[in-house]
A and B are shown apart, each in its own frame.
Chain A
Amino acid sequence: MTRRIPFLRWLSRGLAALILAGAIPWSASAQPIAIEIIGGGANQIPITILPFTGEERFARDKERISQIISADLQRSGLFRLGTPGSVRPFPAEPRDVNYRYWKGEGAETLVIGTITEKSDGRAEVRFHMMDVARQSQILGFSYLVGTQSLRRTAHQIADVIYEKLTGDVGVFATKICYVTKSDARFELQVSDADGYNADFILAHKEPIISPQWSPDGSRIAYVSFERRKPIVFVHNLVDGTRTVLANYEGSNSAPAWAPDGRRLAVVLTKDGTSNIYLINADGSGLTRLTNTPFIDTEPNFSPDGKYILFTSDRAGSPQIYRMRADGSGDAERMTFEGNYNVTPRYAPDGKSFIFIHRSEGRFNVAVQEFGQSQMTLLTSGGLDQSPTFAPNGKMVLYASEVKSRGILAAVSSDGRIKQRITAQSGDIREPAWGPLPNRRKE
């Protein structure tokens, strides 16, 4: 903790400047998608990321590690990237840095690095983040990795930089999943958070909805219509196998993992209307949590596992309620504005929740803090669905529609920064942001 960040200037942000970062090129085995930033902060953290010495030899698809780090930070909307100046060669070690020159260039924080090949074929990535004014290192790390994983290393470095300069955990090294629809083909895809390395884990002609990551990121539960009715599956990402979690008479849907990863809440209609049940991750031990003649659906566990938020029409219109995770006691109504509030999702810190609010025929992402009955709209699109928090709680990814095409969009949890993600063709929908990878040892 050596550097003080000018946090106060974040608070005094004005109108979001329109930053068109342009589409990021795509290379993946599955259907390509592209991400653009459509809003950003007026007060961004300046940072200058110089090419790493030797990185061109390890570039894949012409993308160098410093470019991947830059793209990550830029996409967050929180950083302003400086130019690489005119001094060649670029500094590789702290002793090479000409601080007076970089001060003249307006640089405040400088990132430099090297990549070298080791005798065992692996690569060593070293990087240093330097405080130009103080002429000292803020932090520095060395990674020894297989050359296949350099993109991941770049995301990890971006996470380290992000965390140091914002105080929040970075999510660049996380995964997302989503469903694409092209012609009559549905694919459940998993990709890096920047959309790269996309691959499908399930593809067929029938719809797939409601994918949800297990807390450890090893499994995804989802609803598939492949047997002409909604059935809940659990898909193991490690070995590619999958099991039926719930296939009872009627509809089986809305899986939600408990934080322990051993149980899920699901919605079944086998006993009448849609009600919430608890089930073990292997499909055993079904117990009923709600018992009403109304719709009870879209369960979502609190991060501490003690509560479940859900949608119910018990008061005549769909509203959000909270109950104990064992179903005991009365459910407490959480939303009161308007007559359509659905799809609740806890913030990772458990202090607030996001949901979809309808007003005058428009569907938007809203956020509300617990203990308050007032909500704040985060989006203004009009056909938004399926919001999902980034595991650091700083961004919300959601499905939307532009010109009748399904797209994904992301908004910072303060509503200030917006991103848009589109498939090259067809629709993209039902996003779910994966958990943080096992925290690196520092």
Chain B
Amino acid sequence: MRNAALAVVLAFALGACASQGQKGADIEQRDLFDQQKSAAQQQQQNDAARQEQIAREQEELKRQLEEQQRRQQGAGQDPAIVRPLSDGGAGGQTTLKGDVWGQLKDPASGLAKRSVYYDYDSYSIKEEYVPVIDAHARLLMQHTDTKIKVEGNCDDRGSREYNLALGQRRADSVKRAMVLLGVSDKQIETVSFGAEKPVALGRDEESWAKNRRSDIVYPGEPK
């Protein structure tokens, strides 16, 4: 009944429009058509641009990683050197696992840093975090039985599910970089916590920036 009443009102309104002449309607239809066409073109262009951007990002990342490796090799740091345990896991444990835990604790190893931070809406790895990824990648290449989790996180604005997907992309970006460096993809599981595990609870850019991150986690690592 209500719909019928609405239809009457709409019909009246449309009638009023029609009395302004057929010409106006034609133009409007054409406009809409153009709009749709340009939207479709735009979408195709966007898709192409997107693919290009991803390729560019990967190239850039690869370049950064290679640069990083060259620098380290130039400085005479042989990634194959296993460092002595400084405060090994379970009282001087000398198993391979203990060795990994020991290296992770070693402040000189660069492995104490476990987080990579991102810009808003972005999952590109910034240059300053390449050394973090590189350090962990080298450890994983030395210990191919060691498995890690990379946990992606977002700030809590917007859709929880989209943030979950974005967090996954962030975690995947770290995995991709490590695989490019030579780590087996079987050693890395990526998961996302989306916006659900914030480390900072403020409603400001400082807090949000802390929450846009990937954490590298070694399951079973002693505290």
Contacts and interface: CB of A to CB of B under 8 A. Distances in A.
Contacts of B42: 315
A250 B165 CA distance: 11
Given A314-B50, A336-B39, A250 B191 contact: yes
B158 A342 contact: yes
Contacts of B168: 250-251, 269, 273-274, 295
Interface in B33-58: 35-36, 39-40, 42-43, 46-47, 49-50, 53-54
A311 interface: yes
B36 A373 contact: yes
Contacts of B196: 207, 209, 225
Interface string B88-129: 000000000000000000000000000000000100000000
Contacts of B39: 333, 336, 373
Contacts of B1: 1, 5, 7, 167
A230 B159 contact: no
B192 interface: yes
Nearest to A225: B196
A219 B81 CA distance: 56
Nearest to A319: B43
A227 to B, nearest CB: 10
B203 interface: yes
Contacts of B211: none
B6 A253 contact: no
A282 interface: no
B164 interface: yes
Interface residues of A, number: 52
Nearest to B1: A167
A22 B197 CA distance: 35
Contacts of A274: 164-165, 168-169
A230 to B, nearest CB: 6
Contact of B161 (A167, A249, A254, A336): A254
Contacts of B159: 298, 311, 318, 342-343, 356, 385-386
A404 interface: yes
Contact of A251 (B160, B162, B192): B192
Interface residues of B, number: 41
A385 B42 CA distance: 28
A430 B43 contact: no
B190 interface: yes
Given A229-B191, A251-B168, A315 B46 contact: yes
B134 interface: no
A8 interface: yes
B23 interface: no
A280 interface: no
B189 A295 contact: no
Given A314-B47, A333-B43, A166 B162 contact: no
Contact of A386 (B5, B46, B157, B160): B160
B2 interface: yes
13 contacts: A7-B2, A7-B5, A167-B2, A167-B3, A209-B160, A225-B197, A230-B164, A253-B161, A253-B164, A273-B168, A273-B169, A297-B162, A315-B46
Interface of A: 1, 5, 7-8, 10-11, 166-168, 207, 209-210, 223, 225, 228-230, 249-251, 253-254, 267, 269, 272-274, 293-295, 297-298, 311, 314-318, 333, 336, 340, 342-343, 356, 358, 363, 373, 383, 385-386, 404, 430
Nearest first, the 3 A-B pairs at minimum CB distance are: A315-B46, A207-B196, A274-B165
